[in-house]
Structure formats: structure tokens, C-alpha cells
């Protein structure tokens, strides 16, 4: 039995996907609107968290 490891993105990866700046990504993390983890001091964001954030924003805009 194997389980898929979630894809972890760096802050620059998320910046590129959301087309926002570094401080905005950290603001989303700080306000818990975007889930993240720390790996040896490096911030990583699950790709699923970015997709969930986009979906939630689309639902609010609809």
C-alpha cells in the first residue's frame, strides 16, 4: 500500500501561481488563509492548500 506524498511548494512557487508578491503570500500564511509547514526552517505550502485557497476565493466571488 502506497500513499501519495503531497506536493510541497516554495514561497516563490506560490507567488508565481497566484501572481502576487512575497509579502502577500506570507500575509496569507500569517492569517491562516493558506496552510503551510516549516521544514528545517524553510516554509513549504502544500499544492492542495493553494488549490483550496483559489476555490474558496472563487466561491466568495460568485
Q: Does 3 map to a domain?
A: no
Q: What is the pLDDT of residue 2?
A: 59
Categorize the per-residue pLDDT at 6 as very low, low, confident or very high, splitting at 50, 70 and 90: confident
| Residue 1 located in a structural domain | no
Domain residues for the domain of 36 are 8-61
47 lies in a domain?
A: yes
- Could you tell me if residue 17 is inside a domain? yes
Alpha-carbon gap, residue 35 to 50, rounded angstroms = 8
The pTM score is 0.86
% of residues, the chain, pLDDT over 70:
95
> Residue 54: which CATH number?
1.10.1660
CA 42 to chain centre: 13
* Number of domains within the chain: 1
The answer as to whether 2 is a domain residue is no
Contacts of 43 (CB under 8 A, 6+ apart): 10, 11, 26, 29, 36, 37
Amino acid at each position: 500500500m502506497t500513499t501519495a506524498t503531497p506536493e510541497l511548494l516554495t514561497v516563490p512557487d506560490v507567488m508565481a501561481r497566484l501572481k502576487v508578491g512575497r509579502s502577500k503570500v506570507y500575509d496569507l500564511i500569517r492569517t491562516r488563509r493558506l496552510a503551510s509547514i516549516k521544514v528545517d526552517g524553510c516554509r513549504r505550502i502544500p499544492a492542495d492548500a493553494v488549490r483550496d485557497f483559489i476555490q474558496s476565493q472563487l466561491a466568495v466571488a460568485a
